[in-house]
Amino acid sequence: MDRRTFLKTVPAVTVLAATGRAFAQETAPTSSRSETPGTAPSSAPAPEAITLLKPQADGGKSVLAALWERRTIRNISPEKLPAQMLSNLLWAAWGVNREGGPSGRPGRTAASASNSQEIDLYVVLPEGVYLYEAVPHRLSLVVAGDLRAKVGRGRRGSAAQAPVNLIFVADVAKFAQAPFQEPGLKDPEVQKSYYNVATGLIAGNVFLFAASQGLAAWFHNCDKAGLATELKLRPDQRVLYAQTVGYPA
């Protein structure tokens, strides 16, 4: 969809047919919330990959209405999100919204310097930590097990029990891979401004989506060193921030 259409609509709650494997923990339609809030996560092994449902293109509150509702909500329920809601959330945050973006690369729902797409979005679920792959819109397992308690930094409450925590990781090696090298793209100090701005744009998408769907969202600091170790990141990958998402408690 084009940028003008995106500004008029946000991912929605109308149920579409699933394509590929559904999110392993949930089969309920987006319009219904799970029946057992606070249910303990399944002890089944975390799947190596989760093919997300096709993201939806309309529905929910308008962008203007969502802006009126946008706010930080720190008290978040452990109730899991339906499969379609999770798919729409990740697409709204950092998904592909056009095949032909700048410099011949796919365009994303948030801008990045020279379309370098340097932010990696890690998704912390009760069963494990996954890397969101915008193409082909799926999650790939990075670390099995419940690491939610490590997301917060003195914030063990909501972050430790919320159904979804997003970890923003900058991969500075991707700047050198950008087809168009704008001035400063290889300057470490300039790179900091670029990846912090890119993170803010993605987080803003999450806040708007949450407001449009009646979800709670909280952008906060995290245990950078601990998460870098748990995720086995390379030296040129840097944990930046976290964002916790779920239903309001």
The answer as to whether 34 is a domain residue is: no
Taking 50 as the pLDDT cut, the residues of the chain under it are: 1-32, 34-41
Instruction: Write out the DSSP string of 124-145.
Output: EETTEEEEEETTTTEEEEEEES
The domain spanning residue 116 has which CATH number? 3.40.109.10
**pLDDT at res. 39:** 39
User: 20-46: buried (b, 16+ CB within 10 Å) or exposed (e) per residue?
Assistant: eebbbbbebebeeebeeeeeebeeeeb
The answer as to whether 185 is a domain residue is: yes
Give the alpha-carbon dihedral of 111, 96, 166, 85, to 10 degrees: 130
pTM: predicted TM-score of the whole model, two decimal places: 0.82
The answer as to whether 188 is a domain residue is: yes
The answer as to whether 38 is a domain residue is: no
The answer as to whether 69 is a domain residue is: yes
Give the alpha-carbon dihedral of 124, 196, 174, 222, to 10 degrees: -30
Instruction: Tell me the two tokens of residue 195.
Output: 């990846």
Task: Give dist(CA 194, CA 180) in Å, integer.
Answer: 15
**pLDDT at res. 155:** 52
**Which residues span the domain enclosing 20?**
3-28+46-246
The answer as to whether 213 is a domain residue is: yes
Instruction: Tell me the pairing of strands 119-125 and 164-171.
Output: antiparallel
pLDDT tens, residue by residue, 150-179 = 897 655 568 999 999 999 999 999 999 887
The answer as to whether 40 is a domain residue is: no
The answer as to whether 154 is a domain residue is: yes
Contact 193, 238 (CB under 8 A): no
If one counts the domains in the chain, the total is: 1
Lookup result for tokens 């592909």: 96
